[in-house]
A and B are shown apart, each in its own frame.
Chain A
């Protein structure tokens, strides 16, 4: 029972265009959502996050959108650059407290390739 799903294993985009990565979740208790980026031979690094009280968060070229009713999360990268080529993981957390201490539940990842 996979609670966080990234249904596109890979995405290929031309440099300068928009990259849209999608993520769906099933557990309505999740209230904090994150994107991590992973280059080969490196660990995942935090990219951007959004709380459930918001529907959009922006950081430079990166914007995360949250649709709580649809339990859907997306990451937009505009404009895409070759250096953005990496694996992108979405992750969720449930409200901390008790046994729910902020555990990260990850999706399987989407490989983004940005062509020059």
Chain B
């Protein structure tokens, strides 16, 4: 089955220690998104890639970076995690980025910062 895969499912890091979360997709979609969801809050878009074109949301902290080395993979790098960055991180894909294109989500990576 075509799908969106996130590794690891749980990640524990130390305050200030860089961490990378991984997302891969077998859907061959052009667009890949990263959302942050804190406890009992709405998922919030951090940024997206349209093919190789990186698009950052205006309120995404500089501490968050992303890489997309090829169509299938996208990485979320948190350069210096703070306690407030503990959250579920969801990766999603869509065929295109126009309105009404369905976004397909991975299961998420839960990040704990000690």
> Of the candidates B4, B97, B104, which one forms a contact with A101 in the assembled complex, judged by CB atoms under 8 Å apart?
B97
Which residues does chain A contribute within 8 Å of B98, judged by CB atoms?
96, 101-102
Which residues does chain B contribute within 8 Å of A43, judged by CB atoms?
4, 6, 90, 92, 104-108
A110 to chain B minimum Cβ distance, whole angstroms, is 11
Is A63 on the interface with B (CB-CB < 8 A)?
no
Which residues does chain B contribute within 8 Å of A89, judged by CB atoms?
42-43
- Contact A108–B40 (Cβ < 8 Å): yes
A105 to B107, CA, bound (A): 19
Which residues does chain A contribute within 8 Å of B70, judged by CB atoms?
none
Is A4 on the interface with B (CB-CB < 8 A)?
yes
A19 to B31, CA, bound (A): 34
A102 to B98, CA, bound (A): 5
A43 closest partner in B (C-beta): B105
- Known contacts A31-B99, A101-B55, A101-B98; decide if A42 and B43 are in contact (CB<8 Å): no
CB contacts under 8 Å to A, within B36-70, are 40-45, 48, 50, 55
Is B101 on the interface with A (CB-CB < 8 A)?
yes
* From B50, B55, B106, B107, residue with most partner A Cβ within 10 Å: B107
Residues of A in contact with B, size category: 20 to 34
* From A41, A44, A89, residue with most partner B Cβ within 10 Å: A44
Is B20 on the interface with A (CB-CB < 8 A)?
no
Which residues does chain B contribute within 8 Å of A42, judged by CB atoms?
107
Interface-lining segment among A45-53, A54-62, A70-78:
A45-53
A99 to chain B minimum Cβ distance, whole angstroms, is 8
As a 0/1 sequence over residues 71 to 109 of chain A, the CB contacts with chain B under 8 angstroms (1 = contact) are 000000000000000000100011110000111111111
Is A16 on the interface with B (CB-CB < 8 A)?
no
Is A65 on the interface with B (CB-CB < 8 A)?
no
Which residues does chain B contribute within 8 Å of A96, judged by CB atoms?
97-99
Which residues does chain B contribute within 8 Å of A104, judged by CB atoms?
43, 45, 103
Q: Which 3 A-B pairs have the closest CB atoms?
A: A43-B105, A106-B42, A96-B99
For this complex, 16 residue pairs linking A to B, each with C-beta atoms less than 8 Å apart, are A32-B99, A43-B106, A45-B104, A45-B105, A46-B103, A49-B100, A89-B42, A93-B100, A94-B99, A101-B48, A101-B97, A101-B98, A105-B42, A106-B42, A107-B42, A108-B40
